[in-house]
Structure 1
Amino acid sequence: MNAILKIYPSKLERDNFETCTAEPGQTFEHWLNNNVPSYEPRAVPLFSASVNNEPLPPSEWAGYRIQSGDQLELVVEAKGYAAIVMIVVAVAAAAAAMYFANQIPDNYNQTTPDGSTIYNPNAQGNQARLMGVVPEIAGRHKVYPDLLCQPRRQYDNNEQYLYLMLCVGVGDYEISADNIYIGNTPVSGYAGDIEYTVFGPGEDVTGHDAHRNFYLSPEVGSSAGQTGLEIEGSLATTGDASSAARWTFSGTTLKSYWFERDIEREDNLGFVPRSFPYSEEEIISISESSNDGEYRVVSKSGHSAQMEKVDAGGDAVPGWGGFVDAQLVSIAMISNNGGSGGYLGPFFACPENETTRYIELDFFLPQGLGRIKDNGDFEYYSVTVDIDYRDESSPTWTTITHTFSNATNDQLGHTEKINIGSAIRPEVRVRRVTEASDDTRIYDTVQWTALRAELDSASSYEGVTTIAVKIRGTNALAGSAENKFNLIPTRKLPVYENGSWSAPDATEDIAPFFAYIIKSVGHSDDQIGLEELEALHELWSARGDTFSAVFDNKSTLFEALKKVLAVGYAEPTLDYGQIIPVRDGPRTAFEHMYQPDNRVGELEQDISLFDPDEPDGVEVEYFDPQTWKPATVLCTLAEDQGLAPKKVRAFGITDETKAWRFGMRQRRIQRYRRTRYSFKTEMDGLNSRYLSYCALADDIPGYSQTGRVLAVNGRLITLDAELEWGSGTHFLALRKPDGKLSGLYTATATDSANVIAIDTDLDFAPVLDGSMEPPLFMFGEADRWCYPALITDIKPSGTERVSMTAVNYDERVYLDDENSPSGNL
């Protein structure tokens, strides 16, 4: 079991860390030297370390050996900016490389793991995110699909294949072969080496072998720099006249001898005692006519050992009286259980409380297999291994024998597939039957590289798109293929147009995903402002505004809707039980008026003065669709130097021009919306909505003149106040019975101080009989007749008062909505 290391950037950021693993047995300093490029021993290290919550002083780093299951923590210590940056980058890079290249993350200890790594350019890769949020992809965006089961490597005809079962995301997607990659290379560049099948939501996935869910036993695998566990051969030779090993049997004693020769004197020394090759408690198998069976080494001394006979379960055989005496015999086979020539294992093939009907074992021959003849050619050679398995509660082993035969020095691999039949928790062990040879002309090394057990596998995945992949291992495909499979899908959604929903199709539009989010939580069409949404869809489509992003962390409905609408300069609002999108854009027609006659109290103004320390620009981070990594664009006005810009993230934007427009809108809002209005009304305020474009007035001389209409005679309007006229054009605005603003009308003076003439007929019929409140008016010079404002908050208080806030409207906010970083389009 590997040790787990967590690397923290500081003591204050305990929720932010990188995770990697380390093989047991190596010293901590050895791991640092091999995995952290910038590491070097220092009197005062740049980071501290602890093991299992106990401090590990730097003086012990060189001597402490990492143990199986250790929990190590590395915390960067604050010792200067440059030092912090160097060590964080070095350690984090090493951690990410080790972790994502070799492991599936262990998320059992996290309630909700972090989202996909597409927004973390330093750790992009496929992950298993147990208990995590299934990604929701909007528009067209690159993703590293999440692993649905553990990646599986398997040999077929001496070629290795990698199987991946991946979740693309919730919903249905358009996925083309040109948009599927390993790393940065399209899969089309690996013709014949990659097979994949895309499955829509709920489709049967059993047609592809990648769907099978296998558990990989951690006890079998790479060890001591080797790909797997080497299956070592027996130490003795088969019995014939030329055998170099000889044994004597007497009573319970077994002695070993070896034939030696004095090369210098060219003299045979004969069989001489040899140190007994097996350890105490090991079990050896003897095949000699009178002494067949298995025996345990009780004790040994020199070339002698005291033995006891054991049964198949390893228990001593009662009443065994000892060996049948034999002098210097050559036996057919002698091997131990767990040492040279004995069993590897047994190891459990699946976790506790799990059962399986099918197991697989991978074997690897790193030097090939064969014998070199005198002329240099290879000739066939064979190696036989026994594979034993049994139920954990059974004393009886079932043996399967496999023989490897070949004549090549090319690396070879084989997957042994075993259908057990009944569901058990199997123990598995392997031993080499063919004796090993020290002949340098024989290549016969065999390693056991993997033990897998198939667990319950899903036959379909409701509501999500999945992709099954089979990759043939070649020199062109590095090991990183296991966690670098990515693709660029486009979400399929219905679009509301012409009063109805279309069939789902690939789209990057804002409106379809906005509606989808609302309906995905159980709301119906009646709870969406479809009329407003359709109008905005037409506007956004004409402008080319799109939304492409990945939602893979928990969020609220309104937070998600805000992110979606932000790229279209809109926000979600609640209005009488409907969620309605409202866009902040250029306005030409006022909706309502609020002046002293329909206000309660004064109009309060809060003007924000220019601060020399405020940001002088906006730096926007967006996702570059070429590299699919974050990029930035600086947004400044003519008078800005851009030395201290405000940093914003354009979530959902994957285009530089769109990101620049987004940032310029933010910058212009900072610059030109600097007045906040607060006022109260009776129930009139409920006529307005969020971002309603309204005309405000107070009683400050020189600005708007307000009052009530007394009479209307065609285009002559009689007012309840004598008007003061300035220079230039003058406007008159009236309030209709439904609260909406009527006008603007160009006004001219008459002979009477309270009667004015307007340039067009009224667009409503005023009611002046006293049955309702008469129309209200606002009047003044063209640029001073009102305070144009956008309503930002409406708060009813009982049934008599409404508190309202607004910000000044300034058309300069929108001047870059059609421009580009290099000038007008």
Structure 2
Amino acid sequence: MGQLIIERHTGVERVVECAGPLMDILDREFPKGPGGLSSRLSRVSGGPARIIPVDEWEGIEIGEGDTYHLGLTPSGFEIPLWAVVVASVAISVGVTFLLAPKVPGQASQQSANSLYSVGVKANEAKLGAPPPVNYGTVVRTPEYASQSYRVFAGNDEIRHFILCLGAGKYQLDDIFIGDTPTGDLPSGLIEYQVFLPEDHDSELGNIEADFGTHENVVTSGDVDQLELEPVQRYSDAVNGSITGVNIIFNESIADAAISVGDTIVVTSPISATKTIAGVTDTSITVTTSFSGSATDETIEFATKGGDGITRGPFVTNRTGTTTQALEFDIEYPGGLYKQKDNGNFANMTVETTFTLQQIDDAGDDVGSPSTHVFSETGASNNPIRRSYSVTGLTAGRYKVSVVRTDDQEIRARDSARVIWTGMKAYLDYDNSVPRYGNVTLLALKITGAKEISASSQSQIRVRTTSILPEWGADPAAEVAGGNLVDVMADIITNTSYGARQAYSVIHAAAFDAFRTAQAGRSGFNGSFDTRVTVWDALKAVAGLGRAEPVPRGFQVSLVVDEAKPQRASIVTPDNTIVNSLKWEASLTSNTEQDGFEIEYQDALTFERKYAIWPADSVNPKREPPIGLTDPDEALSMAKYLWRQFSGRHRTYTFKTGREGQNLQRYDRIGLAAPWISDKADHGYVTSASGTSVTLNRAAPSGALKLILRDQDGSVSGLLDATGDGGKTIVLAASPPFDLVFDGQSVPTLVTFGAAADFAPLDLTVLEIGTPGATTSIKAVNYLPDLWDDLV
């Protein structure tokens, strides 16, 4: 034999001589779970002395000479020991690579041509936050897994997204742009592909290889709506006079096209080249005097500005990253054209020159800059949008500047505006660490069109269904859905975002029965998108089935608040601490709520809806359980809560010995105490022979009904007997278990009464206190019709 030393914060509680699997021993010693949150198991002898992690307990066999120490710190009874190993359901192991996306602005609407853009406003990046864990079927707005970006191709704006559907596996049921399912949009506007964890393999590059969307793009926040000014040229022939440093015109000129410092070349009536010192709409002043003069003659001249305005330099990517490919978005909002005197359009060609300078992480130049010239020709007033790429660069960081370098005369009636609207760096992939984690990703391309314009402020939403291991099936079998048991088992066992426990910590019989009972219900359809303890998550899920997780030894079991045909135990003054049995009644105030309003989500739209009971309630209390999507189940929950609120008005408390730990929440127990109810009396067996039983007190004469309570707290069904008015009764049949009356062990307890009106007061157990020398129990009156017509 070996030893298990059990110690609480108050000192050593007991030393157990034992042999066999540790988990079996713990189940025997703690049939209702240990009395505390904090626990530590260590080996004292029989091997190297060390602390044993919880995930190794299942494999421990205590043998001859083995000594283990189990330290427990009481901190409430409701949470089993393994709960402290788990930080939360939603653990930040998912998207390790979130980048803040740039939300696109409104597209300018050109009357000359129908040009549309996609503007997704609602999707967000939650930097450093865990990915949500979604169960069942949900409709939600997924977060960015990487920065979205746009590309102009043939005047279409193509926007690329990689969105995180959530931690774990999901099937994609539908995508919505705003409220419109993508199936209702013209074909070709939406392309997408789902990547399960095994598809992306937590590495960058697999999505791009399969779908063509780059997975690590940085869009510059410095580049947005930067106008690139051309070299200014202007020519005209206007009647006027020349004298000294002044040219005076007899009619207006296009002074907006002329700037101080520009060069003016006069070809008639005299020839001269000067620098402009000032300009109005009827005069030009130069820096030095003309060599001749003229009065009221046609003056032919041309002006030329200096170089175009340089924009930048702007840095393309942050320190610690490298890129070998850059892309620049240029828009020509009014189209490109030269307008002839007859109104027709002729070709206009513009040119932009980008200068790229490699820099190091300190911002210092590396090597020499390179220039890249892009030109565009057009003869139309249709807006033009282009993405110009530079590839094959040396891996590194860059700073970029741009100047417009076309040198030509542009008149007021011509169109040649150039706007620099974006700069992207396609970062090199670094797979030295896992990049995505156990998440399902959605790669999506949206091609701009009238049906999905930016002015609609569209959102990308998805309907997904979780793919979970099916409880009770082969561990490799998976099922799409949200059966409450499948969800709870995943929370307990999932190694990424759950409790990381083995299936053996789950009480199979309870979970099997509950899964069968839940087969026809809608299940859990909701998201855990904030950090929450595993135990709280289990309670939220089980609560939809009027159940609650409870510890069973070192396993997780379930108790269900449902009709209980059999009593779990009986309570009498003979098995309670003296003077501990108390009861009180409470009445609802007419100022309190007169019903319950259950908030749930519509299964199709996930819009909020409400179920109220009673139907005529005017001041209901609102309860917002998560995961509820079925209107009938929501109404049942409202009925269930209202019946408890309005019907469970008597509260009973008492203390019993350690046997109280054999009770579970929602157990139905019978109470026999004459000063509370005269329909059942109590006593215990002092002797027995066959069916003849002697009690410690007299029983009524005639037909009797009684219930026997065994040493372990379990009880018989309702038994028939006959009394003679004294202490001896005769059972109608042999007792269902051996009666105890040896004077040393706890005797068999009896609750009895006349057959015509025998009725122990039935209670429902609500709370069981921390185990110790005594156990506190809180119960309420049992409501036999609580569950009528509930689904």
Which of 323, 328, 352 is matched with 1:356 structurally? 323
For residues 495-548 of structure 1, the C-alpha deviation after alignment (integer angstroms, 9 at most, x for no partner) is 2227x5461120120001111111122222222222211111111114x15111
Partner of 1:763: 736
Partner of 2:347: 380
Counterpart mapping for 1:107-506 below 5 A: 125-176=122-173, 179-190=174-185, 191-202=187-198, 203=200, 204-207=206-209, 208-221=211-224, 228-236=225-233, 262=250, 277=259, 334-336=305-307, 341-351=308-318, 354-372=321-339, 377-392=344-359, 393-394=364-365, 396-419=368-391, 421-435=393-407, 437-439=409-411, 441-457=413-429, 461-479=436-454, 484-497=459-472, 501=475, 503-506=477-480
* Cα distance in structure 2, aligned partners of 1:617 and 1:658: 16
Matched, 1:548 2:525: yes
Q: For residue 769 of structure 1, report the CA deviation from its aligned partner.
A: 5.1
Q: For residue 353 of structure 1, report the CA deviation from its aligned partner.
A: 6.1
Which of 653, 670, 678 is matched with 2:645 structurally? 670
For residues 81-125 of structure 1, the C-alpha deviation after alignment (integer angstroms, 9 at most, x for no partner) is xxxxxxxxxxxxxxxxxx996589xxxxxxxxxxxxxxxxxx993
Distance change >3 Å, CA 482–CA 527, structure 1 → 2: farther
For residues 770-817 of structure 1, the C-alpha deviation after alignment (integer angstroms, 9 at most, x for no partner) is 56433110013576532212222223554x322222222112321241
Q: For residue 452 of structure 1, report the CA deviation from its aligned partner.
A: 1.8
For residues 114-168 of structure 1, the C-alpha deviation after alignment (integer angstroms, 9 at most, x for no partner) is xxxxxxxxx9931100011210001100121101222211111221101111111
Please state whether the residue corresponding to 1:523 is helix, strand or coil: coil
Please state whether the residue corresponding to 2:317 is helix, strand or coil: coil
* Cα distance in structure 1, aligned partners of 2:697 and 2:389: 99
Partner of 2:109: none
Q: Given residue 210 of structure 1, which amino acid in structure 2 is its aligned partner?
A: T
Distance change >3 Å, CA 635–CA 103, structure 1 → 2: farther
Q: Given residue 347 of structure 2, which amino acid in structure 1 is its aligned partner?
A: Y
Q: Given residue 427 of structure 1, which amino acid in structure 2 is its aligned partner?
A: K
Q: For residue 477 of structure 1, report the CA deviation from its aligned partner.
A: 1.0
- Whether the 8 Å contact between 2:237 and 2:300 is mirrored in structure 1 is no
The answer to which of 585-594 and 401-410 deviates more is 401-410
- Whether the 8 Å contact between 1:286 and 1:334 is mirrored in structure 2 is no
Matched residues, percent identical? 26
Partner of 2:483: 509
Which of 587, 591, 595 is matched with 2:572 structurally? 595
- Whether the 8 Å contact between 2:103 and 2:121 is mirrored in structure 1 is no
TM-score, reference length from structure 2 = 0.72
Please state whether the residue corresponding to 2:197 is helix, strand or coil: coil
Partner of 2:64: none
* Cα distance in structure 2, aligned partners of 1:285 and 1:215: 42
Unaligned segments of structure 2, at least 5 residues: 1-100, 107-119, 201-205, 239-243, 266-274, 289-298
- Whether the 8 Å contact between 1:172 and 1:200 is mirrored in structure 2 is yes
Please state whether the residue corresponding to 1:511 is helix, strand or coil: helix
Q: For residue 635 of structure 1, report the CA deviation from its aligned partner.
A: 1.2
Partner of 2:77: none
The answer to which of 501-510 and 487-496 deviates more is 501-510
Distance change >3 Å, CA 182–CA 100, structure 1 → 2: farther
Distance change >3 Å, CA 652–CA 797, structure 1 → 2: closer
* Cα distance in structure 1, aligned partners of 2:126 and 2:147: 11
* Cα distance in structure 2, aligned partners of 1:275 and 1:479: 35
Distance change >3 Å, CA 408–CA 760, structure 1 → 2: farther
- Whether the 8 Å contact between 1:257 and 1:274 is mirrored in structure 2 is no
- Whether the 8 Å contact between 1:379 and 1:407 is mirrored in structure 2 is yes
* Cα distance in structure 1, aligned partners of 2:513 and 2:781: 25
Please state whether the residue corresponding to 1:514 is helix, strand or coil: helix
Distance change >3 Å, CA 751–CA 786, structure 1 → 2: closer
Distance change >3 Å, CA 274–CA 367, structure 1 → 2: closer
Please state whether the residue corresponding to 2:678 is helix, strand or coil: coil
* Cα distance in structure 2, aligned partners of 1:789 and 1:103: 64
Counterpart mapping for 1:621-632 below 5 A: 621-632=599-610
- Whether the 8 Å contact between 2:504 and 2:555 is mirrored in structure 1 is yes
Q: CA RMSD in A?
A: 3.7
Which of 582, 589, 596 is matched with 2:559 structurally? 582
* Cα distance in structure 1, aligned partners of 2:256 and 2:730: 127
Partner of 1:808: 781
For residues 348-403 of structure 1, the C-alpha deviation after alignment (integer angstroms, 9 at most, x for no partner) is 22346654322111011112223445665544332222112213433843211111
Partner of 1:319: none
Q: Which has the higher contact order (CA 8 A, sep 6+)?
A: 2
Which of 535, 540, 546 is matched with 1:563 structurally? 540
Q: Given residue 394 of structure 2, which amino acid in structure 1 is its aligned partner?
A: S
Q: For residue 342 of structure 1, report the CA deviation from its aligned partner.
A: 2.5
Matched, 1:685 2:625: no
Unaligned segments of structure 1, at least 5 residues: 1-98, 105-122, 222-227, 245-255, 288-296, 307-327, 819-825
Partner of 2:62: none
Please state whether the residue corresponding to 1:659 is helix, strand or coil: helix
* Cα distance in structure 2, aligned partners of 1:172 and 1:796: 39
- Whether the 8 Å contact between 1:276 and 1:304 is mirrored in structure 2 is no
Partner of 2:115: none
- Whether the 8 Å contact between 2:598 and 2:624 is mirrored in structure 1 is yes
The answer to which of 379-388 and 668-677 deviates more is 379-388
Q: For residue 670 of structure 1, report the CA deviation from its aligned partner.
A: 0.4
TM-score, reference length from structure 1 = 0.69
Partner of 1:720: 696
Distance change >3 Å, CA 642–CA 348, structure 1 → 2: same
Matched, 1:525 2:503: yes
Distance change >3 Å, CA 545–CA 383, structure 1 → 2: closer
For residues 209-250 of structure 1, the C-alpha deviation after alignment (integer angstroms, 9 at most, x for no partner) is 3343222222221xxxxxx22222112369xxx899xxxxxx
Q: Given residue 417 of structure 2, which amino acid in structure 1 is its aligned partner?
A: T
Distance change >3 Å, CA 103–CA 233, structure 1 → 2: closer
Distance change >3 Å, CA 259–CA 512, structure 1 → 2: farther
Counterpart mapping for 1:736-751 below 5 A: 736-747=710-721, 749-751=722-724
- Whether the 8 Å contact between 1:200 and 1:466 is mirrored in structure 2 is yes
Please state whether the residue corresponding to 2:735 is helix, strand or coil: coil
Q: Given residue 350 of structure 2, which amino acid in structure 1 is its aligned partner?
A: V
- Whether the 8 Å contact between 1:725 and 1:780 is mirrored in structure 2 is no
- Whether the 8 Å contact between 1:274 and 1:303 is mirrored in structure 2 is no
Q: Given residue 214 of structure 1, which amino acid in structure 2 is its aligned partner?
A: V
- Whether the 8 Å contact between 2:324 and 2:428 is mirrored in structure 1 is no
